[in-house]
C-alpha cells in the first residue's frame, strides 16, 4: 500500500464516497444565536443527538448513533482532563476541536484499515462575547462558523440552512421565536436534501412538510443560556417547552 500511493488515494476517495452515502439521509442540526444565548435544534427517531460537554460547551452530531456516542465521550474526557490539569476557564472550544476531536476524527479517516467515524459534529460554546460554533466533518476537517451553523447529510442542505439563517438574523429573538425559526430552517434544509438542492422550498411547502413530518419524528432542542444561574449553561428543552410551537404546525 505504501509503495503504491495512488492506491491509498483511491482508498481515501472510496471512504469519502462511503461516508457521503451513509450520511446523506441524516436529519440536519441547526445552530443559531438568539437573545438569551445559543440554540441547537434537530429531530431524531430515538437516540439523543444534543448533549452537554462542559459547563458552557454543547455537542451535537449526525450519523451512526454508536459513533456519535464514542465522539461525545471522547470530547467530554478531553474537556475534563483539560479542566483538571489546568482550570475550568482554560477549557475552550478552540482547544477541544484543534487538539482533540479534529485530530481524532482525521486519524480514523486516514487509517484505511480501520473504520472511520460515520458522523459530522457541531460544537457550541457560550462566551461573554456571545460565543459561536465549530463544525467538524467526518474526515476531521473543521471550521469556526460564527453564530449560525449547520451539519447536514448533504452539502446543499447545510449551505441552504446557513444561508437562510444569515438572511433572517435571529440574534435578537426570544427563545420561542428562535425555536420557530430554527424548526422552519431545519425543514428547509431537509427539503433541500431531498430535492438535491435544486428546488428552493417556499413557506407553504415548509409548513406542509412540518405538518406531516412532526407526526413521525421527535424534535430535540437544547440551549446554552447566558442568564442561567448555574455553572452549567446547558439546558435540554422538555416536551412542554416545545408543545405550543409544535401544535401550531398541526393545525
Which carries the bigger pLDDT value, residue 29 or residue 112?
29
Query: For residue range 163-222, what is the model confidence (pLDDT) as tens digits?
Result: 999 998 888 999 999 999 999 999 999 999 988 656 788 999 999 999 999 988 899 999
pLDDT tens figures, 234-243:
999 999 999 9
Contact, 166 vs 148, CB < 8 A? yes
What percentage of the chain has pLDDT greater than the value 70? Answer: 96
Q: What are the phi and psi torsion angles at 22 (to 5°)? A: -70, -30
What φ, ψ does residue 242 adopt, rounded to 5°?
-105, -10
Task: Please tell me the predicted confidence (pLDDT) of residue 5.
Answer: 67
Q: Rounded CA gap, 220 and 207, in Å? A: 18
**Nearest residue to 186 (alpha-carbon basis) of 64, 62, 58:** 62
- Mean pLDDT, residues 34-46: 94
pLDDT of residue 157: 94
Distance CA 142, CA 135 (A): 6
**Residue length, the chain?**
251
Q: What confidence score (pLDDT) does residue 2 get?
A: 52
**Could you tell me how far CA 39 lies from the centroid of its own chain?**
11
pLDDT at 4 over 80: no
pLDDT score, position 45: 83
pLDDT tens digits, one per residue of 60-82: 999 999 999 999 999 999 999 98
219 in Cβ contact with 183 (< 8 Å): yes
pLDDT of residue 196: 61
pTM of the model: 0.92
For 142-170, the pLDDT digits (tens) are 999 999 999 999 999 999 999 999 998 88
| pLDDT tops 90 at residue 119 | yes
Q: What is the band of 251 on the pLDDT scale with cuts at 50, 70, 90?
A: low
Region of poorest pLDDT, from 95-99, 117-121, 246-250: 246-250
Place of cell 452537554: 52
Q: List the domains of the chain with CATH numbers.
A: 27-248 (3.60.20.10)
What per-residue confidence (pLDDT) applies to 53?
96
C-alpha cell at 168: 433572517
On whether the CB atoms of residues 15 and 116 are closer than 8 A, the answer is yes
More confident residue, 112 or 150: 150
Amino acid at each position: 500500500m505504501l509503495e503504491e500511493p495512488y492506491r491509498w488515494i483511491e482508498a481515501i476517495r472510496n471512504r469519502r464516497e462511503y461516508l457521503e452515502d451513509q450520511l446523506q439521509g441524516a436529519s440536519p442540526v441547526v445552530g443559531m444565536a438568539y437573545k438569551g444565548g445559543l440554540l441547537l435544534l434537530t429531530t431524531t427517531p430515538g437516540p439523543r443527538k444534543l448533549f452537554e460537554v462542559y459547563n458552557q460547551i454543547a455537542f451535537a452530531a449526525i450519523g451512526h448513533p454508536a459513533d456519535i456516542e464514542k465522539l461525545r465521550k471522547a470530547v467530554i474526557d478531553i474537556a475534563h482532563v483539560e479542566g483538571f490539569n489546568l482550570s475550568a476557564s482554560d477549557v475552550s472550544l478552540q482547544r477541544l476541536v484543534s487538539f482533540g476531536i479534529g485530530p481524532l476524527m482525521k486519524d480514523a479517516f486516514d487509517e484505511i484499515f480501520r473504520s472511520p467515524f460515520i458522523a459530522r459534529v457541531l460544537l457550541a460554546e457560550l462566551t461573554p462575547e456571545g460565543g459561536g460554533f465549530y463544525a467538524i466533518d467526518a474526515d476531521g476537517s473543521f471550521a469556526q462558523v460564527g453564530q449560525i451553523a449547520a451539519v447536514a447529510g448533504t452539502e446543499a442542505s447545510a449551505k441552504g440552512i446557513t444561508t437562510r439563517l444569515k438572511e433572517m438574523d435571529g440574534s435578537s429573538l426570544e427563545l420561542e421565536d428562535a425555536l420557530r425559526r430554527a424548526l422552519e430552517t431545519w425543514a428547509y434544509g431537509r427539503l433541500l436534501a431531498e430535492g438535491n438542492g435544486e428546488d428552493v422550498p417556499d413557506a407553504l411547502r415548509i409548513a406542509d412538510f412540518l405538518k406531516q413530518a412532526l407526526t413521525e419524528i421527535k424534535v430535540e432542542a437544547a440551549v446554552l443560556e447566558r442568564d442561567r444561574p448555574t455553572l452549567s449553561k446547558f439546558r435540554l428543552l422538555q416536551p412542554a417547552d416545545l408543545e405550543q410551537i409544535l401544535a401550531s404546525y398541526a393545525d
